[in-house]
């Protein structure tokens, strides 16, 4: 099967969205805000815009604002933002288990393991059955060593790996121990396989896509991802923000 090339460009295809937040309802002394992050905006932009709007509303020059776990621009879902004294709880919040839903597309890989980069190699996938897909998923449940993507927020000598990767710098990223607690196949419609995963902090679902494709004797990349839970916080209780474009 010939795939239609899909690519996400940060410079060309990612307009700078502007959001409006209900800042009048937020406690600048200490608060936790749950945001349902939209597609194609960065976690950094969401935090930065909220900080600016809080400063404007309160007329204060300094307000502490931070998030408890980055979401890739191509992912949607739960983003925990802490304000004021609650920024001290960021490590506590982001250490909780994460739940994600999404889609793996088998039969092709990309250098970024998602849609940011064009397909670089295609593989047969007609041999994959639903039973194989579920058995492969079950094989990842537990603790194992995972190598993060080159296009990730991991710091290497003070710089983000994705910055170096986009500059063409050759990188070697060390693997780290992660845990998959649940891995459920929710839809099987080749070449797409939908899933639900519950995992530990630091798990990269894009890397899971790569490894899952290999386990199926094929290749795979991530085409959709949504974070639905972090610890006891659910996206069902999050604020939906729509871009002002």
Prior bond of 89 cis (ω within 30°): no
pLDDT at 17: 75
Confidence of residue 153 (pLDDT cuts 50, 70, 90): low
Q: How far is CA 106 from the centre of its chain?
A: 19
H-only helix segments in 197-241: 205-215
Residue 28 half-sphere exposure toward CB, CA atoms < 13 A = 18
Instruction: Please indicate whether residue 2 or residue 110 has the higher confidence score (pLDDT).
Output: 110
Do 79 and 137 lie in a common domain? no
What CATH number does the domain containing 54 carry?
3.30.2350.10
Residue 90 has pLDDT above 50, yes or no: yes
pLDDT at 8: 40
Do 185 and 152 lie in a common domain? yes
pLDDT at 13: 52
Q: Mind listing the pLDDT tens digit for each residue in 2-37?
A: 444 444 444 445 556 788 899 999 999 999 999 999
pLDDT at 243: 73
The number of folded domains in the chain is 2
Radius of gyration of the chain (CA): 19
| Contact (CB, 8 A) for 46 and 19 | yes
- Average pLDDT, integer, range 211-220: 98
pLDDT at 229: 98
Do 88 and 121 lie in a common domain? no
Among 31, 36, 45, 72, the active-site one is 72
Residue range of the domain that includes 87: 23-95+232-240
- Is 3 part of a structural domain of the chain? no
- Is 17 part of a structural domain of the chain? no
Residue 123 has pLDDT above 70, yes or no: yes
Query: Cβ–Cβ contacts within 10 Å for residue 128, how many?
Result: 21
SS3 labels along 95-106: CCCEEEEEEEEE
Do 104 and 214 lie in a common domain? yes
27: alpha, beta or left, given left = phi > 0 and alpha = psi -120 to 50? beta
Q: Mind listing the pLDDT tens digit for each residue in 33-50?
A: 999 999 988 899 999 999
- Average pLDDT, integer, range 201-224: 97
- Is 2 part of a structural domain of the chain? no
**Average pLDDT for the chain:** 89
Tokens for 222, please give them. 């991530």
72 is catalytic: yes
Do 83 and 141 lie in a common domain? no
Do 60 and 110 lie in a common domain? no
| Contact (CB, 8 A) for 119 and 108 | yes
């Amino acid at each position: 099967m010939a795939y239609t090339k899909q690519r996400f460009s940060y410079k060309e295809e990612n307009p700078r969205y502007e959001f409006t937040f209900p800042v009048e309802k937020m406690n600048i002394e200490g608060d936790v805000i749950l945001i349902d992050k939209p597609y194609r905006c960065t976690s950094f932009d969401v935090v930065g815009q909220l900080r600016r709007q809080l400063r404007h509303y309160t007329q204060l020059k300094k307000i502490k604002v931070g998030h408890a776990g980055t979401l890739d621009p191509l992912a949607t879902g739960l983003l925990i933002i802490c304000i004021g004294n609650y920024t001290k709880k960021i490590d506590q919040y982001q250490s909780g288990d994460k739940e994600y839903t999404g889609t793996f597309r088998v039969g092709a890989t990309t250098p970024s393991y998602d849609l940011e980069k064009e397909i670089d190699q295609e593989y047969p996938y007609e041999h994959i059955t639903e039973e194989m897909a579920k058995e492969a998923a079950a094989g990842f449940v537990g603790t194992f060593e995972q190598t993060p993507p080159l296009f990730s927020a991991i710091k290497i000598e003070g710089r983000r790996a994705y910055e170096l990767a986009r500059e063409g710098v050759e990188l070697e990223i060390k693997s780290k121990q992660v845990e998959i607690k649940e891995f459920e196949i929710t839809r099987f419609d080749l070449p797409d396989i939908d899933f639900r995963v519950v995992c530990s902090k630091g798990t990269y679902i894009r890397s899971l896509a790569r490894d899952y494709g290999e386990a199926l004797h094929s290749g795979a990349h991530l085409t959709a991802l949504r974070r639905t839970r972090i610890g006891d916080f659910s996206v069902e209780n999050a604020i939906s923000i729509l871009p002002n474009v």
